[in-house]
Amino acid sequence: MSKVKKEEKPNFPSLPKSQTGITGLDEITGGGLPQGRPTLICGEAGCGKTLMSLEFIVRGATEFNEPGIFMAFEEKAEELAMNVASLGFDLNKLQTDNMVKIDHVHIDRSEIEETGEYDLEGLFIRLGYSIDSIGAKRVVLDTLENLFSGLTDQTILRAELRRLFNFLKSKGVTAIITGEKGEGPSLTRQGLEEYVSDCVILLDHRVINQISTRRLRVIKYRGSQHGTNEYPFLIDEDGISVLPVTSLKLGKDVSSQRVSSGIPALDSMLGGHGFFKGSSILVSGTAGTGKTSIAAYFANETCNGGKRCLYFAFEESPKQIIRNMKSINVDMQKHVDNNLLQFYASRPTLYGLEMHLVAIYKLIKRFKPAAVILDPITNLITVGSVSEVKSMLIRLIDFLQEEQITVMFTALTLNTIISDQTDEGVSSLVDAWLLVRDIEYNGERNRGMYIMKSRGMKHSNQVREFVITDNGLDLVDVYLGPEGVLTGSAREAEKLKEKTGLALRDFAVSRKDKEIMRKRMMLESKINSLKAEFESVEDELNKIYLEEELKQQIIEKNREEITRMRRGTTGADKNKS
C-alpha cells in the first residue's frame, strides 16, 4: 500500500500588518492592524475608542518610529494632551518633535448644507497636507459621526464614505476611524462604515451587578485570521491592556522540578520534595484553619530561595498579613524590602472578574514571579457566579502553566461536610488539593490536614494534626491511642500517661535487678562457704590417707629389718656383701 504524500502548501505572501503596541491587541489580531488600510473602532460612549486610537498613534511614534496624525472632531489638542498626560503620554513633546500632529477640526451642523455639491474635498486637502508635512504612517479620525452629522442622504453619505476610505488607502497610511454604536444590531449609526472597513473592532462597556467591565471583539478582519472571542481590557496608568488568555489548547510544557511548600512535614507527605514547579495548588478549609498561614509559608520559602512571589490578597491588607505572620515566626517584610515579595490587595468588588484577570495578568507580566498566591478565591464569588469564577480561574491557571509559574489558591469552605468539590468548583482543575479542617474531640478543637489529591506523585493518605505555634507551622505525626487517632491535649495526655508508665516500669525493673543482684551475691557467698568446707574435708581425708601410707611404709621397713636380724645379718653386713 503506497503512502499518501502530504501536499505542501505554497508559501503565499501574508497580509502586512502594523503593530499597535497596545498590550494584548497585537496577539489577538495576529500582528496588528492591516497596514495601509482603514480600521473601524466602534462602540458606545465611554468604552475607550478615543483612548485606544490615540494610544495607537503614540505607540507608533514612540515604539515603531511611525509619525501619526490625530484628526479630532470633538476634543481640542489641549484637551487631548491633558486627558492622556495621566497615562504618561507627552503629546506636546511628540508634536514638537514632529512625530505626532493633533488637528482639531470644528464642524458646525448649521454650516453644513446638504447639497449635491457637498463633498469632503476640503478635508482631503487638509489631511493630505498634514500627512505629507510629517511623513505620517498612521492616521486617526475621531469620530466619524461628527463629520457626517449634517448628511441625511444615504446616497451622498455612502459615496463620501467610500471616497474617504479610498483616499486613506491611496495615501498608504494605516488608519483608525472611530464610530459610535448605532441602535439595535447595527455597529455604527450610519450602518455603512463596517462594510467598507477592512477591519472592525467593537468595544463594549457593560455594568452587571454594579460592576463595570470593558470588552473588545474583533468583528471582521479581511485577509487575516484573528481571535473571535470577547476579550476584557483594562484602562489604567499604562494605557490599554487587552487580555488574550484563552483555554482552547492543552499543549503546555510541564516540569518535573519540585518546589518546597516551606513545611518539611508537608513536603514529606508529598513524596519528600514538595509540589511540582508550575503546578496549581488549592488549600481549602473552614474559617480559622490556617489557610493564609500555609500560603504565607509558601511565599516565604519561595523568597528565601531568592525567587519572586506575587501575593494577591482579597481579604486582608498587606500590613495585616505581615503583622499576623510575624506571630508565627515568618518575617515577610524583609522580602518586601528586597523586592522579592509584592502584594496586590484589593476588595473583589473593585473590578469585575475579567478586570481582575487583566490586572493579575499585567502584574505577573511586569513582576515576573516564580510563585503566585490568590488568597482567598472565595471572595471572587461576590462579583460573579460560580461558573464565571471557574471560567476566570481556568484561564488564569492556563496562563500560569504557560509561564511555568506555581500558583497557590486558598478557598474558604462554607460548610463542614467534606465533599469532592469546593464551592468554587475548581478542585478538579488544580494539580494538588490540601484540605484543612477542624477536628473536635474531648471538648476542644484542633486542626487536621490531609492531601485530597496530588497529581503525578505518591502522597500520604493520612490525616495529620496541623499545629500553629509561635515557632511556626508543623504537622504532628499521627498518634494512635487505644481509642484511635488522638489530637491536641488528648494526645499530650496520652503521651504523658505513656511516659509515666515507662518511668514506673523502669523503676520496677531497677528494683528487680537489685534484688537479683543481692540473691546472686548471697548464693555466691554460700557457694564459697561450701567450697571451703569441701576443701577442708578433702584435706582431712588426704591427711588420713597419707598417714596410713606412711605407717604402712614404716611397718614394711621394720619387717624387713626383723627378717635380716633373724638371718644373722645386720645392716652393716648387708652393706659389705
Q: Which strand (E) or helix (H) includes residue 525? A: helix 488-566
User: What's 12's DSSP letter?
Assistant: P
Catalytic residue of the set 230, 315, 388, 402: 315
Residue pair 375/315 in contact (Cβ under 8 Å)? The answer is yes
The three grid cell numbers given for residue 563, joined into one nine-digit string: 627378717
To the query of whether residue 315 is one of the catalytic residues in this protein, the response is yes
Q: Determine contact, residues 15/169, Cβ cutoff 8 Å.
A: no
Name residues whose C-beta falls within 8 Å of residue 6's C-beta, 6 or more positions apart in sequence.
none
What are the Cα distances from residue 537, in Å, to 310, 345, 534, 543, 544? Answer: 99, 104, 5, 10, 11
Q: Is the dihedral of CA 362, 367, 370, 373 positive or negative?
A: negative
Cβ–Cβ < 8 Å for 321, 296: yes
193 contacts: CB under 8 Å, gap ≥ 6: 40, 42, 144, 161, 177, 179, 187
CA distance linking residue 481 with residue 441, whole number of Å: 13
Cα separation, 331 vs 243, in Å, equals 34
Give the full edge-to-edge strand order of the sheet including 231-236: 100-104, 68-72, 138-142, 174-180, 38-43, 199-208, 211-221, 231-236, 239-242
Dist. CA 83–CA 249, nearest whole Å:
40
The type of residue at 135 is G
74 part of the active site: yes
- Measure the CA dihedral 348/350/352/358, to 10°: -90
- Distance between CA atoms of 43 and 201, rounded to whole angstroms? 9
Q: Distance (Å, rounded) from C-alpha 303 to C-alpha 300?
A: 5
431's CB contacts (< 8 A; 6+ apart) are: 275, 276, 279, 280, 281, 454, 455, 456
Residue of 312, 371, 316 whose CA lies nearest to 343:
312
Which candidate in 74, 75, 388, 494 is catalytic? 74
Reported as type and span, the H/E element at residue 17 is strand 17-18
Task: Tell me if residue 547 falls in helix, strand or coil.
Answer: helix
Q: Which positions are catalytic? A: 74, 315
